Amino acid sequence: MNIPIAEAKARLSELVRRAEAGEEIVIIRRGKVAARLVPPAMSEFLPRTGAMKGAIQIADDFDELGPEWDEYAK
Protein backbone atom coordinates (compact mmCIF):
# COMPACT_ATOMS: atom_id res chain seq x y z
CA MET A 1 0.00 0.00 0.00
CA ASN A 2 1.34 3.45 -0.93
CA ILE A 3 0.22 6.40 1.18
CA PRO A 4 1.19 10.09 1.21
CA ILE A 5 3.05 11.23 4.33
CA ALA A 6 0.31 13.67 5.42
CA GLU A 7 -2.27 10.90 5.35
CA ALA A 8 0.15 8.52 7.11
CA LYS A 9 0.47 10.99 9.99
CA ALA A 10 -3.30 10.99 10.44
CA ARG A 11 -3.62 7.20 10.22
CA LEU A 12 -0.42 6.03 11.92
CA SER A 13 -2.10 3.69 14.44
CA GLU A 14 -4.05 1.95 11.69
CA LEU A 15 -0.95 1.65 9.49
CA VAL A 16 1.07 0.13 12.31
CA ARG A 17 -1.70 -2.43 12.94
CA ARG A 18 -1.69 -3.34 9.25
CA ALA A 19 2.09 -3.71 9.23
CA GLU A 20 1.89 -5.96 12.31
CA ALA A 21 -0.62 -8.09 10.39
CA GLY A 22 1.90 -8.59 7.58
CA GLU A 23 1.28 -5.75 5.15
CA GLU A 24 4.07 -3.51 3.87
CA ILE A 25 3.19 0.19 3.92
CA VAL A 26 5.14 2.59 1.67
CA ILE A 27 5.07 6.25 2.73
CA ILE A 28 5.45 8.72 -0.11
CA ARG A 29 6.72 12.31 0.07
CA ARG A 30 6.63 14.50 -3.04
CA GLY A 31 6.13 11.45 -5.24
CA LYS A 32 9.15 9.54 -3.87
CA VAL A 33 9.44 6.76 -1.31
CA ALA A 34 10.30 8.31 2.05
CA ALA A 35 9.86 5.30 4.34
CA ARG A 36 8.47 1.81 4.64
CA LEU A 37 6.55 0.19 7.47
CA VAL A 38 7.27 -3.50 7.28
CA PRO A 39 5.97 -6.45 9.30
CA PRO A 40 8.07 -7.30 12.36
CA ALA A 41 10.70 -10.00 11.96
CA MET A 42 9.45 -13.47 12.74
CA SER A 43 10.14 -14.53 16.29
CA GLU A 44 10.84 -18.19 15.45
CA PHE A 45 14.21 -17.99 17.17
CA LEU A 46 12.77 -17.14 20.57
CA PRO A 47 12.83 -20.00 23.07
CA ARG A 48 9.57 -21.83 23.47
CA THR A 49 8.65 -23.29 26.84
CA GLY A 50 8.43 -27.05 26.48
CA ALA A 51 9.82 -27.14 22.94
CA MET A 52 12.34 -29.88 23.85
CA LYS A 53 9.90 -31.92 25.96
CA GLY A 54 10.80 -35.60 25.66
CA ALA A 55 14.03 -34.90 23.74
CA ILE A 56 16.28 -34.60 26.80
CA GLN A 57 16.69 -37.20 29.52
CA ILE A 58 18.45 -36.74 32.83
CA ALA A 59 20.09 -39.72 34.55
CA ASP A 60 18.50 -40.85 37.83
CA ASP A 61 21.75 -40.17 39.70
CA PHE A 62 22.28 -36.72 38.14
CA ASP A 63 22.34 -34.84 41.45
CA GLU A 64 24.38 -37.41 43.40
CA LEU A 65 28.02 -36.53 44.01
CA GLY A 66 30.77 -39.11 43.71
CA PRO A 67 33.26 -39.90 46.52
CA GLU A 68 35.75 -37.39 45.12
CA TRP A 69 33.45 -34.61 46.38
CA ASP A 70 33.18 -35.87 49.97
CA GLU A 71 35.50 -33.25 51.44
CA TYR A 72 33.42 -30.44 49.86
CA ALA A 73 29.99 -31.83 50.75
CA LYS A 74 30.41 -31.66 54.55
Give me the residues paired with residue 2 across strands: 26
Across the chain, what does the average pLDDT equal? 88
Query: What's the domain count of the chain?
Result: 1
Q: How far separated are the first and last CA of the chain, in Å rounded?
A: 70
pLDDT (tens digit per residue) in 37-58:
999 887 666 667 887 888 888 8
Please indicate, yes or no, if residue 73 is contained in any of the structural domains: no
> What is the tens place of the pLDDT at every residue in 23-40?
999 999 999 999 999 998
pLDDT of residue 41: 81
Q: Dihedral of the CA atoms 40, 41, 44, 49 (nearest 10)?
A: -50
Q: Does 68 reside within a domain?
A: no
Helices (H), 1-74: 5-10, 12-20
The answer to whether residues 23 and 1 touch, using CB atoms and an 8 Å cutoff, is: yes
In a domain? residue 71: no
Residue 30: which CATH number?
A: 3.40.1620.10
